[in-house]
Structure 1
Amino acid sequence: MKKIFTVLGIIAVSAFANAQIVINEIYGAGGGSNSAILYKYDFVELKNIGSTSITLTGAYLQYASAAGTFNGGNSNHALPTITLAPGQTYLLQEGSAGTAGTDLPSPDAVGTINLSGTAGKLALTTDSTAPTSATSSNVIDFLGYGSTASYYEGSAAAPAPSNTTSIARTSGDTNNNGADFTAGTPTPQNSNSGSLAVADLSRTKGNFIKNTFVKNEEITFGAQANDVKVYNMYGQVVKTASVKANESLSVAELQKGNYIVTGTVNNKPVSQKILKD
């Protein structure tokens, strides 16, 4: 799907070619009564995956159930004017079904959309007109997730999230929800969450870290990694190291919660998200 920015009041015309603000991550189990729920609110994280700054003016976030239609009301809301630098994220706090879970890091904006925790459709649009497909003319980016989503970008819907997982973009945008998103530990990041590079936030599927769910106070690496950095959810570096394959790194001093570990393996930047229990 072609991303449309020409009607959005973009500040810099030169940004048209490369800058893209996309739906980067969603979590739909906010609140509720299940003790496994991680966050008190649903969230949608936007991200500029382009190479230059870009501004959205007059944009909307719209939601529909897996089989339903976009119909406004409490299922959409206007976004404030957003300007994001390359790699910068923007956190939208949405609805809550109860009190379970912890608060999100300070959201950039607040809405009331109640996302499904298993299947649904989200559209980032240029205006409030309800989209009728993933390629409607006002759609900037579209995400259909879960096996019952009635439409989506590309050949398949993104996987379903859960009480303990979000779905997040693997790296760029190939306009195929099934290929572009994967389920994993939620990592809500607001626009002040630091300066992690775009590549640093990709979800690697290799053997960088063997135990992304950390129970024994140690991270075990599956490959030799240089310039290892552990970031908290505010983008702050809380630990650094260089390690060999099958070597462990103690994280005993870190509090329970979500972290992003980055490093260089075979001269390539890699990262994985971990949850310390």
Structure 2
Amino acid sequence: MSAAIVQLRRPRIVVVALLLLLGSLVVAVPSAVAASSTVVISQVFGGGGNSGAPYRNDFVELFNRGSTAASLDGWSIQYASATGNGTFANNPVTALSGILQPGQYYLVQMASGGGNGTSLPTPDAVGTVSMSATGAKVILVNTTSGLDCNGGSVPCTPDQLDKIVDLIGWGGANFFEGTVGPTTGSTTAVLRGVDGHRETDDNGADFSVEEPNPRNTAHARNLDLPSVSIAAPAADEVLTGAATTISGLASDQGGSVAAITVKIRRSGDGLYWTGSVWSPDEIWLDADGTTDWTFEWTFDPASQDGSPGYAISVRATDDVGHSSTANVVGMSVDNTPPTGAALAIHGGASHTNVRDVSLSPTAVGAVEMRFRNFGDAIWTDWEPYATARDWTLADGDGPKTVCAQFRDEVGNVAETEADITLDTAPPTGAALAVNGGAAFTNKRKVRLAPFADGAVEMRFQNSVDAIWTDWEPYASARDWTLPGGDGPKTVCVQFRDAAGNVVEAKAGITVDTKRPRLVGTKAVSVRRGAKATLRYKIKDPAPSSGKATVRIVIRKVGGKAVKTVKLKGRPVGKSLKYRFVCKLRKGRYRYIVSATDAAGNRQTRVARNTLRVR
């Protein structure tokens, strides 16, 4: 009969020896912990062949209470008296062999104390130990070498204890698990409860005195274990929030499910959930229901978030003490939303002049995102996370806010928003002046005075050029160089606001580098007190404004100026005269005429002539 063979977990049997020295009396008080999860000693009978005994031979019965097949090869049954000084190695060692299936018994026949009783069922192994009818120590060992200890007067070392798979001490024995098992007689045996399934690591609680009932591997297998499963959460599931419901189903073939308990272990530090805090002590907590059960796990999100994982164990116990467990491992809690949530509109621009914009969303850990314009109640549908998206702003100029939400794969949400101003109107009042609005200049280097309300940048060009200057910060003054050559010049300017709206203006000025000439003066003789007429003519080559400013200075011959007059806006190209009542003293004078045109050019040579006052 083929079967899977597993390596059995060896229980840890701890012996605590309390030595009380009262004269020559030494009392040993042992204990043992850690239940056997697979093969256990299920029955011991030591009255074989004695008077009234139902069976001719002593025997030890084993039982595989586990769910997988177990190999007994290399194992043995070893015996020591209840309180004597002899060790397990002092008695014959009974070697075992074969495969023990789940729920299967294994019968080890021992010596006979007489001829009374019937034969045992066919044994699976035979030993020669003559056991006590009332009490002793029997161990199941994972080696065939006798252990040179007895757990009482000769304590077992940690290495020896590690070799002991199971132990039964009964009838006043000084080496046992938990509490000592009850005393037997020639007609009774100690039997493990629930047909061998009960294992609480306490001989006194697990075993009772009953009529012997030897069972070998041919006996019907005892698989009456409850079954339990965990429906939620699933393995490797990531939980969110502050609580979750652990749920599942349980059943029992031969009886009823009496209780469901839950154990939650945190893998990061190995602590157990007590229902309110984490503790180093293993805790099983009662669930609600039996065949259809639930357990509400309420936790502090802050303390659970980011833990490497949790292992959930659920144990079902039937009405006769059978139990089985189910486990879910690897689940974790994640209440941390995507990090670094950010949103930029048009690359972080503060203004735009179009409603259709580009969004640049960012969030570490996001798998989905959605958007809305501030003021709208409805979000877009969740969509796969991306770092770029087109978007349409709400209608109408003014500040706009776009909201974004990012969701990770377990549903945690982070939110952010970004602002931009929609401005579709260009700067207003655009204007440009050259040299303060002058019509003429005699220099190519001029001073510009640009103006536009709402502009943040500006650029310029001479109208004859195809290339604009680079955009530069808006300012109310700028130096500029006009193109070469005399004649009308036009300077263009563009103003741009923060949204990119552009408005244009231009201004003109005429470059005139030609100097005017003065001609036509004549000698004048006038009687003192009469009107004197001084004649002259301005010649100014094109381009010319047609006007000039004339300055006439009258000087005493060989002396200082006695009269100066300034005449603005005098026409060019015409014979002109200046008349005044002559109140100068009699004598000889010289008058000098000079001119400056609208561009600021001064005459090439002044005009001079004489004035005689009689």
TM-score if structure 1 supplies the norm length?
Answer: 0.62
| Corresponding residue number in structure 1 for 2:170 | 145
**Deviation string for 1:110-153 (max 9, x for gaps)?**
1111110101101111222334437712111011000x211211
Select 2:5's aligned residue among 8, 11, 34. Answer: 11
Select 1:72's aligned residue among 74, 89, 103. Answer: 89
The residue identity in structure 1 corresponding to 2:189 is S
Secondary structure of 1:23 counterpart = strand
Cα separation, 2, equivalents of 1:199 and 1:118: 32
Deviation at 1:198, TM superposition (A): 4.3
Cα separation, 2, equivalents of 1:120 and 1:16: 25
Secondary structure of 2:118 counterpart = coil
Within 5 Å, which residues of 2 pair with 1:126-205? 126-127=142-143, 128=145, 129-133=147-151, 136-146=161-171, 148-154=172-178, 156-170=179-193, 171-198=197-224
| Corresponding residue number in structure 2 for 1:45 | 61
Deviation at 1:197, TM superposition (A): 3.1
Deviation at 1:186, TM superposition (A): 1.0
**Residues 199 and 269 in structure 1, CA contact (< 8 A), matched pair in contact too:** no
TM-score if structure 2 supplies the norm length?
Answer: 0.29
| Corresponding residue number in structure 1 for 2:104 | 88
**Residues 56 and 120 in structure 2, CA contact (< 8 A), matched pair in contact too:** yes
RMSD: 2.7
Tell me: CA distance 1:176–1:193, structure 2 relative to 1, closer, same or farther (3 Å): same
**Deviation string for 1:165-217 (max 9, x for gaps)?**
111101321111001100111110010012343469xxxxxxxxxxxxxxxxx
Deviation at 1:54, TM superposition (A): 1.1
Number of aligned residues: 191
| Corresponding residue number in structure 1 for 2:442 | none
**Residues 28 and 43 in structure 1, CA contact (< 8 A), matched pair in contact too:** yes
**Residues 55 and 81 in structure 1, CA contact (< 8 A), matched pair in contact too:** yes
Structure 1 unmatched runs, 5+: 1-9, 201-226, 228-266, 271-277
Tell me: CA distance 1:78–1:119, structure 2 relative to 1, closer, same or farther (3 Å): closer
**Residues 61 and 76 in structure 1, CA contact (< 8 A), matched pair in contact too:** no
Secondary structure of 1:26 counterpart = strand
Tell me: CA distance 1:84–1:111, structure 2 relative to 1, closer, same or farther (3 Å): same
The residue identity in structure 1 corresponding to 2:165 is I
Identity %: 35
Query: Which is richer in strand?
Result: 2
**Residues 69 and 101 in structure 2, CA contact (< 8 A), matched pair in contact too:** yes
**Deviation string for 1:70-112 (max 9, x for gaps)?**
2424x23242323111110000010101101111111111111
| Corresponding residue number in structure 2 for 1:261 | none
Cα separation, 2, equivalents of 1:78 and 1:104: 17
The residue identity in structure 2 corresponding to 1:143 is I
**Residues 31 and 98 in structure 1, CA contact (< 8 A), matched pair in contact too:** yes
Structure 2 unmatched runs, 5+: 11-35, 227-253, 255-317, 322-614
Larger radius of gyration: 2
Deviation at 1:19, TM superposition (A): 5.3
Tell me: CA distance 1:71–1:52, structure 2 relative to 1, closer, same or farther (3 Å): closer
